[in-house]
Amino acid sequence: MGFLSDPSTLNDVNYTELYREFISRLMSHLKPLRFAQIATKCASSIVDLGERRGFYDSVLLERSKLGEEASLYLDIQLALVDLELEEDDGHGIRDRMREMEGKVEGMICEDSTVAASFYQLSFEYFRRFGPAHLFYKNALLFLSHTSFAHVLSPDDIFHLAVDLSVAALSSMSIFNFGEVVRVCFYYFFPFSLFFSSF
């Protein structure tokens, strides 16, 4: 995994070719979820989203060998690609997310990779289509299920932090903007507490 995570190897190696010629033959020797994670790393090197989608489709042809956990992980990765390709209001992806949610919540997994991937899909969906409070909720669930420094780039971490802040301030069901301003006002002007008691 370290080799595939190193950006300097991207120029020297065609990851999809490496997958087809070597990694795919190791499927029976690896844990299914680990295999799915390696396949996802290989897929992330494909720039064209249509080709990336085709790659996931070809990997998922082996669904019976992968098992439920690895197949669900790859389905979530495929949905992330479809979300990037989506040009309408995202109803198809939302329906798939509802179906996946029950599977994720009912699944007992060795690690939190599948849950983290699902929450990443969810927060990306709600970041794009709203509402803000569901984006906020799913982003926090994603962060609680993963070591995000290994999953997100520093730029993505910064943008997520900004988007979380905006969601928290703009959604009426997370924080009330007036309450946030009042707390700040009392902090900077403590004498106003005296006058607010009258």
Is the bond leading into 131 cis (omega within 30 degrees of zero)?
Answer: yes
List CB contacts of 76: < 8 A, sequence separation 6 or more.
100, 114, 117, 118, 120, 121
**Pair 77, 116 in one domain:** no
Domain check: are 92 and 68 in the same one?
no
Which of 28, 23, 24, 77 lies closest to 49 in space, CA to CA? 77
Token pair belonging to 29:
């020797």
Domain boundary (32, 54, 82) is at 82
Residues 61 and 105 in one domain: no
Q: Which among 122, 118, 92, 123 is positioned nearest to 106, based on CA atoms?
A: 118
Q: Which residue has the higher pLDDT, 192 or 72?
A: 72
Report helix, strand or coil for 109: coil
Choose one of 65, 82, 99: the last residue of a domain.
Answer: 82
Q: Are residues 104 and 25 in the same domain?
A: no
Number of domains in the chain: 2
CB count in 10 Å sphere of residue 135: 25
Tell whether 195 and 98 lie within a shared domain. yes
Q: What percent of the chain has pLDDT over 90?
A: 42
Residue 85 backbone phi and psi in degrees, to 5: -80, -20
The whole model's pTM is what? Answer: 0.80
Q: Are residues 144 and 177 in the same domain?
A: yes
> Mind listing the pLDDT tens digit for each residue in 6-55?
555 555 457 778 778 777 777 878 899 999 999 999 898 888 999 999 99
Check whether residue 167 and residue 119 sit in a common domain: yes
In a shared domain, residues 120 and 93? yes
| pLDDT (mean) for 115-136 | 93
Same domain, yes or no, for 94 and 189?
yes
State the Cα–Cα distance between residues 104 and 140, nearest whole angstrom: 16
Among residues 21, 54, 82, which one ends one of the domains?
82
39 and 132 share one domain:
no
Task: For residues 159-164, give the mean pLDDT.
Answer: 90
Domain identity same for 10 and 98: no
* Selected residue with higher pLDDT from 58 and 5: 58
Confidence at residue 72, expressed as pLDDT on a 0 to 100 scale? 95
- Tell whether the model's pLDDT for residue 149 goes beyond 60: no
The residue segments making up the domain with residue 170 are: 86-198
Whether residues 126 and 57 fall in one domain: no
